[in-house]
Amino acid sequence: MADWDWALSVNPKDPTPLHAQLERSIRVAIGSRRLKPGDQLPTVRELAVALRINANTVARVYTHLERSGTLETRRGVGTFVVDVADTTHNQAAREAELRAIVTRALAEASARGFTAADVRRELQAITKGASS
């Protein structure tokens, strides 16, 4: 079992498309510091086999995360988590991106009957767990 197995997952029974689940899983692992800047991700094939999904789905997610500046693929070496704090992105654009992420998360939580306080409490629990 690879050391990243616990960090990345998808649920075929979830109505959310697999590519969206995988992207969210990678972003959550990075956000919670389970995957840190410089960490190498599994190859497309390794991850596809481990998650039992199509390799094209994994490649699509990796490509999207590369374009957003989250991952970097080094030819012949692998795919790595980028230190987004060190990128040259405009701070206002980064804040707008974060606002959009939070807005989507709150909308999804609300649609499932959760309140903003529930989301805040869970974020604090995740953050506290990641720092220990």
- Averaged over successive runs of 10 residues, the pLDDT of the chain (132 residues) comes to 65 92 92 90 94 96 91 93 66 76 92 94 83 54
User: What is the pLDDT, as a whole number, of residue 4?
Assistant: 58
Whether 46 and 79 share a structural domain: yes
User: What is the pLDDT, as a whole number, of residue 1?
Assistant: 38
Whether 70 and 110 share a structural domain: no
Amino acid residing at 53: I
Whether 58 and 105 share a structural domain: no
* DSSP letters spanning 32-77: TTSS-TTPEEPPHHHHHHHHTS-HHHHHHHHHHHHHTTSEEEETTT
Q: Work out how many domains the chain is built from and give that number.
A: 2
CATH number (domain holding residue 60)? 1.10.10.10
At residue 53, what are phi and psi to the nearest 5 degrees?
Answer: -130, 170
